[in-house]
């Protein structure tokens, strides 16, 4: 059969900024999970969903007193609720803790989306004109801010975190950048940071919010906030500021990465814009049901119990890892379910070659997958390690010194998993 011909040329038909993109990659693209690997690379909740479940993994029947709603499989021929008021009310109840203000969040303060990633993209589309406006990010930080900016043909201005001071925000430098360029419309601040695990100081965020001339929006990404000390979330504080957006997710502490639910707390005016531009039925019915079940008192208690287990294992890693020859400093903070740690060469210096070799050997030879972060700003020689279950942390702490000893001695690393 003859080859079909056409005047179509992808290179000139597609938008140039889209042609430059590359598909998202993670450690599991290199090391496929066959059920034997210990996965400490993606900051998931290793203890599973924050739900009280039957032995077969199903939700308990709603008639047993648990009160968990059930997925109506017969109703899946109908479109889901486009407004999700019941879900939003539960999220308000979760975050109305009165730590930062007495003003109460209401459903009109919320947008819910397909993970935080939908909100990141929606905010850029809402406030930034392609090819003209800009966003500001503070590296090292979450990579999807840059991906969404590139997709929308929006330039990125970078004001790095202060790597010499625990990766804290540099509000004066941010404010200077905002004063110098009125095309910057959004400032993305990750708190706790990814990959830095540090909580950004409230007073530093307030300095940016109080900028005397800048007309833009401050976005605080709190994906890991439930691993931080009690009262750290600024979600309710969004009722005090017309240009504050606080993003959260059920993927991390709630252990529900698979349902893809993110939430935005902000002023009613900004929430209305986001809700007006979203796809009509962006939250699937099963997602909504599972999320509402997770936000019930009984299942919040399950989440809290799992969180305490993670924090206990985090403290264990903080205590045990420095005893391993070849492990350097913990950089950043300790307010998340992962740690950013230096890997040292045989001379005792943070080293990307050694860190990358450690990452590869741990996965290929020892069956433990972590994440190499050495190419990010201020992260020379660093691995990011998710806090796993007690058994997973035990395995990690057993395998890491074996790998480091072999690398420092120049020996071949054997596999035994």
Q: Give the strand pairing for 134-137 and 155-158.
A: parallel
Which pTM value belongs to this model?
0.88
Q: How far apart are CA 105 and CA 266, in angstroms?
A: 9
Question: Per-residue pLDDT tens for 166-183?
Answer: 999 999 999 999 999 999
Q: Identify the pLDDT of residue 10.
A: 59
With both helix axes pointing from N to C terminus, report the angle between 144-151 and 115-127 in degrees, rounded to the nearest 10. Answer: 40
126-171 pLDDT per residue, tens: 999 999 999 999 999 999 999 999 999 999 999 999 999 999 999 9
pLDDT digits (tens, 9 = 90+) for 9-43: 657 755 676 667 565 566 556 665 566 777 777 76
Q: What pLDDT sits at residue 24? A: 54
Whole-number Å distance between alpha carbons of 171 and 173: 5
Instruction: Give a three-class secondary structure readout of the chain.
Output: CCCCCCCCCHHHHCCHHHHCCCCCCCHHHHCCCCCCCEECCCCCCCCCCCCCCCCCCCCCCHHHCCCCCCCCHHHCCCCCCCCCHHHHHHHHHHHCCCCCCCCCCCHHHEEEECHHHHHHHHHHHHHCCCCCCEEEECCCCCCHHHHHHHHCCCEEEECCCEHHHCCECCHHHHHHHHHHCCCEEEEEEECCCCCCCCCCCHHHHHHHHCCCCCCCEEEEECCCHHHCCCCCCCCHHHHCCCCEEEEEECCCCCCCHHHCCEEEECCHHHHHHHHHHCCCCCCCHHHHHHHHHHCCHHHHHHHHHHHHHHHHHHHHHHHHHHHCCCEEEEECCCCCCEEEEEEECCCCCECHHHHHHHHHHHHHHHCEECEECCCCCCCCCEEEEECCCHHHHHHHHHHHHHHHHHHHHCCCCCCCC
d(CA 284, CA 262) in angstroms, rounded, equals 13
Confidence category of residue 409, pLDDT binned at 50, 70, 90: confident
- Two tokens, residue 46: 């290793």
Residue 245 forms beta bridges with which residues?
Answer: 219
Give the separation between CA 96 and CA 246, rounded to whole angstroms: 13
Two tokens at 119? 């909100």
Say if residue 399's pLDDT is above 80. Answer: yes
Instruction: Count the neighbouring beta carbons within 10 Å of the beta carbon of residue 176.
Output: 12
The model's confidence at residue 306, banded by pLDDT at 50, 70 and 90, is very high
Quote the CA–CA distance of 390 and 309 in Å, as a whole number: 8
65 pLDDT band (50/70/90 cuts)?
A: very low
- Burial group, residue 192, by CB count within 10 angstroms (0-12, 13-18, 19+): buried
Q: What percent of the chain has pLDDT over 90?
A: 76
CA–CA gap between residue 73 and residue 66 (Å, rounded): 20
Structural domains in the chain, sorted by start = 10-48+304-409 (3.90.1150.10), 78-299 (3.40.640.10)
Write the pLDDT tens digit of every residue in 235-292: 999 999 999 999 999 999 999 999 999 999 999 999 999 999 888 899 999 999 999 9
């Amino acid at each position: 059969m003859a080859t079909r011909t056409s005047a179509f040329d992808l290179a000139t038909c597609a938008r140039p900024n889209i042609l430059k993109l590359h598909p998202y990659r993670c450690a599991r693209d290199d090391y496929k999970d066959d059920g034997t690997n210990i996965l400490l690379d993606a900051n998931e909740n290793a203890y599973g969903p924050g739900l009280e479940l039957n032995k077969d993994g199903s939700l308990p029947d709603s008639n047993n007193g648990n009160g968990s709603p059930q997925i109506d499989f017969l109703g899946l021929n109908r479109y889901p609720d486009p407004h999700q008021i019941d879900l939003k009310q539960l999220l308000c109840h979760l975050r109305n803790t009165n730590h930062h203000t007495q003003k109460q969040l209401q459903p009109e303060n919320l947008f819910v989306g397909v993970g935080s990633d939908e909100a990141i993209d929606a905010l850029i589309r809402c406030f930034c004109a392609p090819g003209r406006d800009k966003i500001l990010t503070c590296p090292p930080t979450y990579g999807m801010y840059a991906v969404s900016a590139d997709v929308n043909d929006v330039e990125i201005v970078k004001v790095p975190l202060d790597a010499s001071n625990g990766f804290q925000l540099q509000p004066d430098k941010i404010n200077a950048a905002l004063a110098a360029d009125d095309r910057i419309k959004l400032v993305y601040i990750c708190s706790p940071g990814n990959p830095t695990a540090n909580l950004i100081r409230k007073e530093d965020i307030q300095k940016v919010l109080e900028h005397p001339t800048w007309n833009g929006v401050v976005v605080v990404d709190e994906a890991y906030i439930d691993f931080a000390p009690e009262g750290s979330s600024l979600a309710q504080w969004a009722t005090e500021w017309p240009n504050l957006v606080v993003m959260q997710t059920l993927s991390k502490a709630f252990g529900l990465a698979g349902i893809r639910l993110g939430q935005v707390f902000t002023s009613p005016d900004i929430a209305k814009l986001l809700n007006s531009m979203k796809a009509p039925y962006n939250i699937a019915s099963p997602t909504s049901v599972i999320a509402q079940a997770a936000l019930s008192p009984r299942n919040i208690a399950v989440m809290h119990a799992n969180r305490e287990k993670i924090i206990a294992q985090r403290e264990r890693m903080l205590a045990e890892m420095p005893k391993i020859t070849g492990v350097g400093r913990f950089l950043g903070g300790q307010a998340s379910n992962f740690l950013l740690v230096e890997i040292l060469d045989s001379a005792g210096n943070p080293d990307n070659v050694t860190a990358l070799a450690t990452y590869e050997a741990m996965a290929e030879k020892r069956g433990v997958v972590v994440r190499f972060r050495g190419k990010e700003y201020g992260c020379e020689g660093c691995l990011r390690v998710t806090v796993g279950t007690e058994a997973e942390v035990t395995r990690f702490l057993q395998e890491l010194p074996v790998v480091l000893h072999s690398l420092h001695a120049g020996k071949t690393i054997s596999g035994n998993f």
